[in-house]
Amino acid sequence: MASMTIRDLDDRLKQRLRIQAAHNNRSMEEEARAILKAGLSGEASNSRSLYKSIRARIESVGGLEISIGPREPIRDVEIE
């Protein structure tokens, strides 16, 4: 296994890493490995909800208005 040293890490970023690691019951080193693995394997894109992804895409082009048609009463269906 290879090892790596990260220098000049912003204090706020280190604090966020420490908190995220604690939330996931991992050490900072384990959390950094998990983040790198997810980021390089494409898993990071799944961290945002589908709603937020769609909203971000729509808002970037000025939004979208959707009209919802009128509701109709439920039909009675006879079961034979």
**Domain ranges, ordered by start, for the chain:** 11-59
**Mind listing the pLDDT tens digit for each residue in 44-74?**
555 678 888 888 888 878 877 888 888 888 8
Phi/psi of residue 76, nearest 5 degrees: -80, 125
pLDDT at 45: 56
Query: CA end-to-end span of the chain, whole Å?
Result: 69
pTM summary value: 0.51
* 60-67 contacts at long range (C-beta below 8 A, 24 or more positions apart): none
pLDDT at 80: 73
**In whole angstroms, what is the distance from residue 74 CA to residue 80 CA?**
19
Tokens of 52: 């937020």
Find all residues with CB under 8 Å of 20, minimum gap 6, and list them. Answer: 31
pLDDT at 43: 58
**Mind listing the pLDDT tens digit for each residue in 16-47?**
999 999 999 999 999 999 999 988 886 555 56
